[in-house]
């Protein structure tokens, strides 16, 4: 392919003059040529000569006459710079894009291999807030990327339907007299989280009687029968449906919902526990502060050992969540003889089915073949995730497959926290969201605000559009703005949500990407003439810059394959859009004629192909008109 061929040719030329390991790089500043080599610097010491002289010797010895894509070699300050033959290089790039079509840039490395990605995993007692949205967007983008690389991707969503947070909500309904129907205009998930849960937590904190009732409810849920259990089941299902609607709004999709309560009944833990015992990885504490507990022996771990062993079975005989996590993780790696059965829960907007664990169901979904098991969870879970991974290693499993895809949390700006009724401390710059205290910005709320803001802009530009069309477009803009904002930040940096900032629709934003795409389509729409991948002459700088950027996609995706970083994809989308906009301003297409027009149309066409791919990977909805 284009860029790779250029690199290969440069390396080949360097070998012809005796450089065994030609280190070449794609230049950041193309005024030095497309490719350059620092071989002269590396040879300087052993040859006892200055790199400047060595570079000149190398350059003078290289004969480019046999090279298809390289037109010249020159030595500058010790660098050996290779320039491309742009007439041929342009054609190579464009032909590769047209040939690849919607698969351009995919190496297909994942063919026949499965990746499991678990994301979202929000407790089913509340509506999603912006912190959850970061998880959903990262997870879904990973899924899209792996799918594009040819992998068979299985998306899981873990539903903790038996934790104490559920008991809080049940307490609200059973003891505080809350109706099962939310007030008009409010979703059931919001109602449970914003009203019932927050109030129940508050009341139980100050009322020991209610706290005791909550313990009873917890036990009843665990017993898997009775009124609280039935009520819980119904609430989980209703909240989950609302939550999924929000996730779909963000463009995410799921294959499997794994309910924690079902997992417990399958006896996964018992099997794993026996294996841990057999491996000598756990022990029973006879005395000391943890007397009566079964603990995971962490003494062999260089870091974890410093903080003491981990309780897996409490002295009352119940498991800790980390024990359940270990069992679940072992299942994901295919190390369990037990397997869940599923029934259909619903359908994704794309028509694919979503399965949920069920005692009644008869569907089986084998997971054993996965080459990677990715868990999208925020950084606060780093230590527990490391413990799970270590336990897998002690079980003799291939723990390297188990990947905690961590990301920093989303917090509130001072201003937004104040808007939500919180009084920050004097020097406090960020405020962490809290479900228990009702301190958070909900995804739907933010998307609605964004949609409204975008719709206003759309209306101004298209006064003739129907309200329906305006809102539909506004919704896509809102999703683009939010998804892009959550994914363009590096995962190891906290995002401080500033609603004023996020409402911005210009600059380095999702809507900018959509606008750029719509602009490109306008040109193609008005063009009826032929395309040509051959430039009539040396292309102009804006044309070259755009071509260069498009040529980079295959390498970008290769880099993703090894780094798993999503951010560079977002950066690429922005710079590609930016190069297109410069091209758009400086290089007339429809007003050009003949071969020039045909070549430029080919560039625009190629751009829409490449850019569509990138937008789809990021989950930024494409807009034909904006």
- Per CB under 7 A, contacts with RNA among 155-184 are 160, 163-164
Distance CA 373, CA 118 (A): 8
Query: 426 to 445, contacts with RNA by CB under 7 A?
Result: 430, 432
CB of 158 to RNA, least distance (A): 10
- 3-state secondary structure (DSSP) of residue 141: helix
Q: Which is nearer to RNA, 250 or 312 (CB)?
A: 312
Is 593 an interacting residue with respect to RNA (CB under 7 A)? no
Q: Which is nearer to RNA, 370 or 609 (CB)?
A: 609
CB of 151 to RNA, least distance (A): 20
Q: Are 352 and 255 in contact (CB under 8 A)?
A: yes
Query: 249 to 278, contacts with RNA by CB under 7 A?
Result: 260
Q: Which of 195, 210, 449, 582 binds RNA (CB under 7 A)?
A: 582
Q: Are 413 and 496 in contact (CB under 8 A)?
A: yes
Distance CA 138, CA 502 (A): 18
Is 505 an interacting residue with respect to RNA (CB under 7 A)? yes
Is 559 an interacting residue with respect to RNA (CB under 7 A)? yes
Inter-CA distances, 463 with 419, 458, 478, Å: 33, 8, 20
Distance CA 39, CA 44 (A): 9
Q: Are 169 and 235 in contact (CB under 8 A)?
A: yes
Structure tokens at 589: 């297409």
Q: Which range binds RNA by CB under 7 A, 124-132, 335-343, 528-536, 583-591?
A: 583-591
Is 585 an interacting residue with respect to RNA (CB under 7 A)? yes
Is 457 an interacting residue with respect to RNA (CB under 7 A)? yes
Q: Which range binds RNA by CB under 7 A, 250-258, 328-336, 364-372, 504-512?
A: 504-512
Q: Are 264 and 358 in contact (CB under 8 A)?
A: no
Mapping DSSP onto H, E and C, the string for 166-211 reads HHHHHHHHHHCCCCCCCCCCCCHHHHHHHHHHHHHHHHHHHCHHHH
Q: Which range binds RNA by CB under 7 A, 248-256, 354-362, 568-576, 611-619?
A: 568-576
Q: Which of 31, 46, 65, 225 binds RNA (CB under 7 A)?
A: 31
Q: Which is nearer to RNA, 342 or 574 (CB)?
A: 574
The kind and range of the H/E element at 263 are helix 260-265
Q: Which is nearer to RNA, 104 or 328 (CB)?
A: 328
Is 4 an interacting residue with respect to RNA (CB under 7 A)? no
Q: Which of 493, 529, 537, 594 binds RNA (CB under 7 A)?
A: 493
Mapping DSSP onto H, E and C, the string for 408-436 reads CCEEEEHHHHHHCCCCCCCCCCEEECECC
Q: Which of 2, 13, 36, 92 binds RNA (CB under 7 A)?
A: 36
Query: 60 to 99, contacts with RNA by CB under 7 A?
Result: 76-79, 81
- 3-state secondary structure (DSSP) of residue 252: coil
Residue 156 β-bridge partners: 118, 256
Q: Which of 320, 348, 499, 612 binds RNA (CB under 7 A)?
A: 320
Q: Which of 60, 265, 315, 434 binds RNA (CB under 7 A)?
A: 315
Q: Which is nearer to RNA, 245 or 522 (CB)?
A: 522
How far does CA 162 lie from the centroid of its chain?
A: 27
Is 490 an interacting residue with respect to RNA (CB under 7 A)? yes
Dmax (CA) of the chain? 89
Q: Which is nearer to RNA, 353 or 453 (CB)?
A: 453
Is 408 an interacting residue with respect to RNA (CB under 7 A)? yes
Q: Which range binds RNA by CB under 7 A, 137-145, 191-199, 390-398, 510-518?
A: 510-518
Is 468 an interacting residue with respect to RNA (CB under 7 A)? no
Instruction: Tell the residue number behind the tokens 């694919």, with chain if given.
Output: 352
Is 414 an interacting residue with respect to RNA (CB under 7 A)? no
Q: Which is nearer to RNA, 28 or 360 (CB)?
A: 28
Q: Are 121 and 159 in contact (CB under 8 A)?
A: yes
- 3-state secondary structure (DSSP) of residue 374: strand
Is 461 an interacting residue with respect to RNA (CB under 7 A)? yes
Q: Are 481 and 515 in contact (CB under 8 A)?
A: no
Q: Which is nearer to RNA, 305 or 352 (CB)?
A: 305
Residue 375, φ and ψ in degrees, nearest 5: -120, 115
Instruction: Tell the residue number behind the tokens 């742009």, with chain if given.
Output: 86
Query: 329 to 388, contacts with RNA by CB under 7 A?
Result: 379-384
Distance CA 293, CA 316 (A): 8
Is 523 an interacting residue with respect to RNA (CB under 7 A)? yes
Is 574 an interacting residue with respect to RNA (CB under 7 A)? yes
CB of 566 to RNA, least distance (A): 11
Instruction: Tell the residue number behind the tokens 């068979």, with chain if given.
Output: 152
Is 234 an interacting residue with respect to RNA (CB under 7 A)? no
Structure tokens at 250: 């963000």
Q: Which is nearer to RNA, 23 or 368 (CB)?
A: 23
Query: 115 to 144, contacts with RNA by CB under 7 A?
Result: 123
Q: Which is nearer to RNA, 210 or 430 (CB)?
A: 430
Instruction: Tell the residue number behind the tokens 């490449």, with chain if given.
Output: 610
Structure tokens at 499: 């609603």
Q: Which is nearer to RNA, 90 or 182 (CB)?
A: 90
Q: Which is nearer to RNA, 265 or 369 (CB)?
A: 265
Q: Which is nearer to RNA, 307 or 418 (CB)?
A: 307
CB of 626 to RNA, least distance (A): 4
Query: 290 to 309, contacts with RNA by CB under 7 A?
Result: 290-293, 303, 306-308
Regarding beta strands 70-76 and 79-84, do their DSSP bridges make them parallel or antiparallel, or are they unpaired? Answer: antiparallel
Picking from 344, 348, 159, 158, the residue whose alpha carbon sits closest to that of residue 250 is 348
CB of 219 to RNA, least distance (A): 13
Q: Which is nearer to RNA, 139 or 511 (CB)?
A: 511
Structure tokens at 532: 């040509």
- Please enumerate in sequence order all residues whose Cβ is within 8 A of that of 91, keeping only pairs 6 or more positions apart, or say none: 533, 534, 535
Distance CA 568, CA 244 (A): 28
Is 30 an interacting residue with respect to RNA (CB under 7 A)? no
The DSSP code for 121 is -
């Amino acid at each position: 392919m284009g860029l790779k061929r250029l690199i290969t040719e440069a390396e080949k030329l360097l070998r012809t003059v005796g450089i065994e390991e030609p280190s070449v790089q794609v230049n950041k500043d193309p005024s030095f040529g497309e490719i350059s080599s620092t071989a002269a610097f590396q040879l300087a010491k052993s040859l006892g000569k200055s790199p400047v002289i060595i570079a000149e010797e190398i350059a003078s010895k290289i004969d480019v006459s046999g090279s298809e894509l390289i037109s010249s070699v020159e030595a500058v300050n010790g660098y050996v710079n290779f320039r491309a033959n742009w007439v041929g290089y342009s054609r190579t790039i464009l032909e590769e894009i047209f040939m690849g079509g919607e698969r351009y840039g995919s190496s297909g490395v994942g063919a026949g291999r499965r990746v499991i990605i678990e994301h979202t995993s929000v407790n089913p007692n509340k509506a999603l807030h912006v912190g959850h949205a970061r998880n959903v967007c990262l997870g879904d983008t990973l899924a899209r990327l792996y799918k594009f690389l040819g992998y068979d991707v299985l998306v899981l969503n873990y539903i903790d339907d038996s934790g104490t947070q559920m008991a809080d909500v049940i307490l609200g309904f059973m003891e505080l007299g809350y109706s099962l129907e939310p007030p008009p205009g409010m979703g059931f998930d919001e109602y449970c989280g914003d009203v019932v849960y927050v109030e129940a937590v508050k009341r139980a904190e100050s009322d020991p009687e209610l706290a005791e009732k909550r313990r009873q409810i917890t036990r009843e849920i665990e017993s898997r029968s009775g009124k609280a259990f039935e009520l819980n089941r119904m609430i989980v299902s209703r909240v989950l449906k609302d939550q999924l609607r929000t996730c779909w709004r963000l463009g995410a999709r799921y294959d499997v919902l794994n309910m924690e309560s079902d997992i417990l009944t399958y006896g996964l833990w018992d099997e794993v526990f026996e294996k841990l015992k057999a491996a000598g990885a756990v022990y029973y504490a006879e005395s000391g502060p943890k007397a009566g507990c079964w603990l995971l022996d962490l003494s062999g771990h260089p870091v974890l050992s410093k903080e003491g062993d981990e309780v897996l079975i409490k002295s009352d005989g119940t498991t800790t969540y980390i024990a359940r996590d270990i069992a679940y993780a072992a299942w994901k790696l295919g190390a369990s003889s037990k397997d869940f059965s599923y029934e259909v829960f619903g359908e994704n907007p794309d028509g694919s089915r979503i399965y949920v664990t069920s005692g009644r169901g008869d569907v089986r979904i084998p997971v054993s073949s996965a080459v990677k098991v990715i868990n999208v969870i925020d950084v606060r879970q780093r230590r527990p995730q490391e413990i799970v991974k270590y336990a897998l290693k002690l079980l003799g499993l291939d723990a390297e497959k188990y990947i905690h895809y961590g990301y920093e949390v989303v917090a509130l700006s001072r201003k937004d926290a104040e808007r939500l009724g919180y009084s920050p401390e004097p020097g406090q710059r960020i405020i962490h969201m809290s479900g228990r205290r009702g301190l958070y910005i909900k995804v739907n709320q933010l998307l609605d605000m964004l949609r409204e803001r975008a719709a206003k802009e759309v209306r101004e530009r298209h006064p003739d559009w129907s309200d329906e069309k305006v809102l539909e477009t506004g919704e896509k803009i809102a999703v683009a703005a939010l998804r892009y904002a959550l994914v363009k930040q590096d995962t190891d940096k906290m995002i401080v949500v500033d609603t004023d900032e996020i409402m911005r629709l210009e600059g380095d934003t999702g809507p900018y990407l959509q606008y750029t795409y719509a602009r490109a389509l306008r040109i193609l729409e008005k063009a009826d003439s032929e395309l040509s991948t051959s430039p009539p002459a040396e292309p102009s700088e804006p044309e070259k810059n755009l071509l260069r950027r498009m040529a980079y996609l295959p390498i970008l995706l290769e880099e993703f394959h090894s780094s798993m970083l999503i951010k560079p994809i977002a950066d690429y989308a922005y710079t590609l859009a930016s190069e297109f906009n410069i091209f758009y301003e400086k290089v007339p297409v429809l007003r050009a004629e003949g071969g020039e027009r045909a070549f430029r149309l080919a560039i625009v066409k190629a751009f829409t192909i490449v850019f569509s791919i990138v937008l789809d990977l990021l989950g930024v909805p494409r807009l034909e008109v904006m």
